[in-house]
A = this chain, B = another copy of it.
Amino acid sequence: MNDLQKVLDGRWATVRDDVRAQLGELRLNPDQPTEAYRADVAEAMKQLAASKRPHQGFDPAYGGGGDVGGVVTAFQMLGHGDLSLLVKAGVQWGLFGGALQNLGTARHHDRYLRDTMDGTLLGCFAMTESGHGSDVQHLRTTATYDPAAQEFVIDTPEPGARKDYIGGAARDARMAAVFAQLVTRGTSHGVHCFLVPIRSEAGDPLPGVTITDCGPKAGLNGVDNGRLVFDGVRVPREALLDRYADVAEDGTYSSAIENETRRFFTMLGTLVRGRISVAGGAGTATQKALTLAIRYGATRRQFANPATGEEVVVLDYLAHQRKLLPALATTYALHFAQEDLVGRMHDLQKFDTPAEGSLAGPRTDTADEQLQRDLETRAAGIKAIGTWHATATIQACREAAGGAGYLAENLLPQLKADTDVFTTFEGDNTVLLQLVAKTLLSDYAKRVGRLDLLGKVRFAADLVGGEVAERTGARSVLLRGDVRDRAHQRRLLLAREEHLLASLARRMRAALKPGVDQFAIFNAAQDHLLEAARAHVDRIVFDAFADAVDRAPATVRGLLEHVLELHGLAVLENRRAWFVEHGYLTGGSSKALASGVNELCAALRPHARELVDGFGIPEMWLACPLLDGEQVTTQPPAEEAPADLTAVG
């Protein structure tokens, strides 16, 4: 193992090594009929369960390991192997198991938690509906309490209320965690989660449950996504996961959280692990694509150097380096941002030693509320930026491998197809960035609100001053500096973040006036809002990478400094128009970004292989004809040389 891998493996290095060892021999074949692939993935799920690795994420009181960060790390590692297995495991232990653990109470844990961990109870997570994907608060499935029978009646009241894209629903799941509008005594109390059996042991749909198959998808065809329609399906009162709300036998509704919207988002917040896991899976898939493309690029030759007559290794071309190396640097940055995110989640969600009669489940007392909120914002932002980065980078890797990259045997098509939906599920990226921006805005308003009179005057002056500086270009004097210097890069990223947020806050203030068309104001600023969110994420990702570089051992710190520098340059280069427009960069400094990227590409080119080796992907999972060139010499093997080769002369 090289030193880079030690740094990248980080806090859960032993978990990573365990997964590499346990799954080293497992390689699924996605290029087979759907049902066969699904069966292989289901079988692999049993192996995962048998490894007891998924148990690590659950409550120790029920035989779990209580290692939330470790289990997410292990999940991510599946992205180096098979993404259908990753998603299938995520559904079972992350989403279904997570809902059970975090929204349920002892009555559910006692009955279902061990079987869920063991995979003897297979579940699915029935939240999304055909008509409501992003806006799940307004989904339409109903759970109406019938006090006479002490049962909830689950219904799909309209076609758009059909549960859709539900992983595990089409083939394997026996039980669904169904999100539905809870109605009791004629009043709706918003979305709650219910455990609803959907299939018999034998696998037949239960009465009132109509299950259909979503059919073939762009990728992830080892996952059996399906649709669920409920027609008067009755479940006992106890099927309600009642950690945050309950319905008494007589139908009385009670909850410690009075506000319906706040209650809904509190429940959702406990499920943040799913979003974090998707970001992690996108990261490992990207690492695998880059490893394939960079190793191929380092052996593939095309076009002769006219001076030497020797064909040039394609990774020596600047254009090829530019396709892959800045993306590699950003993949490093996102890796460390993800490690940081997983660590924060772990520290926040760790299980208390369960006292008798205490709530089993992650600790989320009031003191942690701000931390939880920060975690959710970070998770949303890193998921959005990380999955878009995955889509763009895997595409670049496919193109960098040319025609060979289009063949299934060379693994890139599957990586591309499987990860494509990551930008959509566990929160559409555009919607997630809006969430990030809204949180930033509300934090900003609180900050401003806490200022005393003098502070408010200063703040207003700063805003005006900012506009003046923008008009006169004075900022470029204030902030002139070397764009390759880390401290300067960070100043620029922070300035962008703060500027975008402050100017957004000013625009949004107009929406507070009575009588205005709030939607129109919000909508006109939507691109501004998204850019503000992105600027925030860019800065926290940069910080996470910088912190990791500072912690790295001296043997690799110098190299990582360069990777950080390239990442910073690439982010700034992408957004350089904004910096110049707003007076933070001169035209000359802006041009220096491009030449800086070029120079860093040249400097890192000799380390490209070492950098991808740092991801520690087992060779077994990389082996494909694309990499055969690493073994080929320029001469054909003697036995294949055609007899008349001499005649060619």
Contacts and interface: CB of A to CB of B under 8 A. Distances in A.
A363 interface: no
Interface string A174-191: 000000000100101000
A590 B598 contact: no
Interface in A127-161: 128, 130, 132-135, 138, 142, 144, 153, 155-160
A526 interface: yes
A377 interface: no
A590 B232 CA distance: 59
Interface string A418-450: 001101110011100000000000000000000
Interface stretch (A302-310, A563-571, A607-615): A302-310
A640 B417 contact: no
A425 B416 CA distance: 18
Given A218-B406, A580-B590, A648-B183, A642 B319 contact: no
A460 to B, nearest CB: 23
Contact of A215 (B305, B399, B407): B407
A39 to B, nearest CB: 17
Nearest to A579: B577
B307 A417 contact: no
Interface string A57-71: 000000000000000
B217 A526 contact: no
A407 B217 contact: yes
B232 A644 contact: yes
A249 interface: no
Interface residues on A, range: 35 or more
A395 B391 contact: yes
Interface in A192-249: 214-219, 231-232
Nearest to A142: B648
Contacts of A1: none
Interface string A312-338: 100011111010000000000000000
Contacts of A134: 302-303, 402
Contact of A217 (B303, B307, B406): B406
A647 B524 CA distance: 40
Interface string A617-649: 000000000000000100110001111110111
Interface of A: 31, 33, 128, 130, 132-135, 138, 142, 144, 153, 155-160, 164-165, 183, 186, 188, 214-219, 231-232, 302-307, 311-312, 316-320, 322, 391, 395, 398-399, 402-409, 412-413, 416-417, 420-421, 423-425, 428-430, 470, 473, 517-519, 523-524, 526-527, 530, 576-577, 580-583, 587-588, 590-591, 594, 598, 632, 635-636, 640-645, 647-649
24 contacts: A134-B303, A155-B644, A157-B648, A159-B636, A165-B407, A188-B648, A216-B407, A217-B408, A218-B398, A218-B417, A232-B642, A232-B643, A306-B519, A307-B517, A307-B519, A316-B523, A320-B430, A391-B395, A399-B428, A402-B428, A403-B424, A406-B420, A406-B424, A582-B587
